[in-house]
Chain A
């Protein structure tokens, strides 16, 4: 990827975010849009971990949970502003990722999968069992961010849905910009090198454990930020945000769109976020269709949807 494609990616993303509302018939669409961006942000983090570094995590929703619950509990118990709480959540996630990542990133493939899975399960379990503090399985209210009120005072009057659409969109753009910069940086090159072959990477002097840990921590911060946004936007959060199914969703979104590319990540997030909204019409068959989509895409478009389509368009068969 050259600097040129980085610019193109960001411009395409910005254009999509800016133009889409022209076709929105109701506030509901803004809401789905902002959900796409929030999930997209988390999945861009997964791209750094899976796509760049080639490591898998089946427990990243744990970090989403940490980010989300810090926004709920920080203001409640520490009296801090929700925005400070979001930053605190990101720091907490980074520290957790660092502590957890050091031992478990030695593991490979399925073993890494089960260890990260264990971490995610533990986080969601604490969130739902410590009901006295976290509100338990029924969830907990999250205070208002207050930014919309400030904008209103400054003369910019947005509806709640519009505000969160714009805010999440900007957050996604920022996240994408950072991820694209990492891709071209020495760190990004080293990550891709160890993805290709750990042994080869080590022989050319790359500190493999340190880099894996970096990718793990960065992706955890992305997940945490997405969790904070989700909590603040919904003004409510439940332990499901940290659950196993959410972790799987995040991995699926990343791989579905194309794990190597930021745009693919956003595309994957869009599909898996919008699909259930459409499928509520077929309520009974929602699971069947979701499972079917996951299998079919992975069987017939193993590189993910965007890269496979791109290849078709360029007319290269292999």
Chain B
């Protein structure tokens, strides 16, 4: 039993990171119908910028804030320079543009930073905490709390604030949103900044556990994408549940079946879920417009 508990705890930790990435996917997808494959690079940037500004002598909290703000800036640039000019392009083109952006950002990171693995100290020390016979790192609690806070924040933002509803309105019907006076360009910019900041936050939180290097982005993007799909694209609740579920499935597979195939388990489950529920776990019924 402690074994199971241990697997669950590590699964939830990893899952919380996937959930953060999936939430980032969700925000951009909601505002623009674009699946941003560069989402994983935001996580990488969050980690890397923190590492280098911290090494340059900034206190850790300040370094983290700098990283999140700079990454949000990168998100805004991505929207302005690559996504906005390609408005209305088919899905395949958008996939290629965002993957191109991902490769580009990775290339820049490799030149600006380096190719080494990096970490910075955990926020509250490295002494494991015992929970029901298993142990958990204090940093894991930070990661889980971060994901929860972001989820709650987003939930309130989308349901309780005018701006959040403007984002949803833009997602639903861009033209109609414009007609009722919503500045859809601003909404897009905001979504990319928010999404990039959330990704960067994920990077800041998880780097003390998993380390960071210039090339961690694409793997994380795929997992986050899969998590978002598992829950149903565009649904924040789905992103959270999909992310945590994916993390737990991976941890259980690694623990009980084969650690080599833990990545496989995730994709097998996703294919199975999509097979049964073609629009994800939390999908509303969809209809085609003819």
Taking beta carbons and an 8 Å cutoff, which residues of A are in contact with B?
50, 56, 58, 103-104, 106-111, 113-115, 117-119, 121-122, 125-126, 129, 197-200, 244-245, 248, 251-252, 255-256, 259, 284-295, 298-300, 302
Q: Which of B93, B101, B279, B280 has the most CB of A within 10 A?
A: B93
- Assembled-state Cα–Cα distance A259/B102 (Å): 22
What are 29 inter-chain pairs, A to B, with CB distance below 8 A? A103-B271, A103-B275, A104-B271, A110-B233, A113-B91, A115-B270, A117-B226, A118-B267, A118-B268, A121-B264, A251-B95, A252-B96, A256-B96, A286-B107, A287-B104, A287-B106, A287-B110, A288-B107, A289-B107, A290-B100, A290-B103, A290-B104, A292-B100, A294-B96, A294-B103, A298-B86, A299-B86, A302-B89, A302-B90
Interface residues of B in 77-94 (CB under 8 A from A): 82, 85-86, 89-93
**Contact partners of B103 in chain A: CB under 8 A:** 287, 290-291, 294
Given A199-B288, A251-B92, also A114-B229 (CB < 8 A): yes
Can you add 6 more A-B contacts, CB < 8 Å, to A56-B92, A56-B95, A298-B96?
Answer: A114-B274, A121-B222, A129-B260, A288-B104, A288-B108, A295-B97
Whether, in the assembled complex, B197 has its beta carbon less than 8 Å from a beta carbon of chain A, the answer is no
Bitwise, B270-290 to A at CB < 8 A (1) or not (0) is 110011001110000000101
Report the minimal beta-carbon distance from B35 to chain A, rounded to whole angstroms. 5
**Contact partners of A299 in chain B: CB under 8 A:** 82, 85-86, 97
Given A110-B35, A244-B222, A298-B89, also A255-B107 (CB < 8 A): no
Specify which of A108, A129, A255 is in contact with B261 (CB 8 Å cutoff).
A129
Report the minimal beta-carbon distance from B286 to chain A, rounded to whole angstroms. 9
Q: Determine if B275 and A110 form an interchain contact, defined as CB atoms under 8 angstroms apart.
A: no
- Assembled-state Cα–Cα distance A108/B287 (Å): 12
Whether, in the assembled complex, B241 has its beta carbon less than 8 Å from a beta carbon of chain A, the answer is no
- Assembled-state Cα–Cα distance A199/B287 (Å): 12
Q: Determine if B271 and A294 form an interchain contact, defined as CB atoms under 8 angstroms apart.
A: no
Q: Determine if A114 and B226 form an interchain contact, defined as CB atoms under 8 angstroms apart.
A: yes
Q: Which residue of B has the minimal Cβ distance to A296? A: B100
Whether, in the assembled complex, B111 has its beta carbon less than 8 Å from a beta carbon of chain A, the answer is yes
**Contact partners of A288 in chain B: CB under 8 A:** 104, 107-108, 111
Question: Interface extent on B, as a size class?
Answer: 35 or more
Given A114-B225, A199-B288, A298-B86, also A291-B263 (CB < 8 A): no
Taking beta carbons and an 8 Å cutoff, which residues of B are in contact with A?
35, 82, 85-86, 89-93, 95-97, 99-108, 110-111, 218, 222, 225-226, 229, 233, 260-261, 263-264, 267-268, 270-271, 274-275, 278-280, 288, 290
Specify which of B86, B99, B274 is in contact with A107 (CB 8 Å cutoff).
B274
Q: Determine if B93 and A255 form an interchain contact, defined as CB atoms under 8 angstroms apart.
A: yes
Q: Which residue of A has the minimal Cβ distance to B269? A: A118
Report the minimal beta-carbon distance from A49 to chain B, rounded to whole angstroms. 11
**Contact partners of A291 in chain B: CB under 8 A:** 100-107
Q: Determine if B97 and A294 form an interchain contact, defined as CB atoms under 8 angstroms apart.
A: yes
Q: Determine if A115 and B274 form an interchain contact, defined as CB atoms under 8 angstroms apart.
A: yes
- Assembled-state Cα–Cα distance A290/B274 (Å): 33
Specify which of B89, B92, B233, B278 is in contact with A259 (CB 8 Å cutoff).
B92
Report the minimal beta-carbon distance from A267 to chain B, rounded to whole angstroms. 16
Q: Determine if A111 and B274 form an interchain contact, defined as CB atoms under 8 angstroms apart.
A: yes
- Assembled-state Cα–Cα distance A268/B174 (Å): 34
Specify which of B91, B218, B264, B279 is in contact with A125 (CB 8 Å cutoff).
B264
- Assembled-state Cα–Cα distance A256/B222 (Å): 22
